[in-house]
Amino acid sequence: MNEKQRVITVFGTSRAGEQDEVFRSAEQMGVLLARSGYAVANGGYGGVMLASARGAVSVGGRVIGVTCRAFKRSPNPYLTEEIPTDALTERLATLIRLGSAYLVFAGGTGTLLELADVWEHKNKGFPGTDKPIILMGNFWQPLVQMMAQADPKSTRCIRTAETPSEALTILQQEGLR
């Protein structure tokens, strides 16, 4: 493992198919991250995870899949490394630990859990939470607006990118080169 290479953790739905915009966006994101010298970490299965992995590997990138034995399924074929875990909590903790930043695509309750974990830790200012959280597209905006009403300062913790190239620009502006 290249310890100096920045790892960007990608969260998102496992249900997206190749015809879905979120899948195409995640695949493009993987390409851009790998071309820019980042490694990609994700949950290792289908949907956004497969798309970002396939994109990164298509240009020679490194992809770390953090899988969970509880799922009883095979990881996607684009992983260059696999870190198997026994429980969802261990899997999420590993993905968070690996990431120098977090890109959050549209998703379901699993993605919501991932977003809530990194967002709450950053919102509370816990040590090691100076890592950027970038929401991809507008899927999460109703949640962001709701949280802004409940905790106005919480939205300072996250950024939004409409496109993969905009997300890459944000990463670079945050000093992740």
Q: 């979120």: which residue's tokens?
A: 22
**8 Å CB contact between 88 and 4:** no
Closest CA to 73 of 57, 84, 63: 84
Domains and CATH numbers, the chain: 7-171 (3.40.50.450)
Please give the chain's pLDDT, 177 residues, in tens. 455 899 999 999 999 999 999 999 999 999 999 999 999 999 999 999 999 999 999 999 999 999 999 998 999 999 999 999 999 999 999 999 999 999 999 999 999 999 999 999 999 988 878 899 999 999 999 999 999 999 999 999 999 999 999 999 999 999 876
Closest CA to 52 of 30, 79, 83: 30
Side by side, the strands of the sheet bearing 7-11 are: 81-85, 63-68, 39-42, 7-11, 101-104, 133-136, 158-161
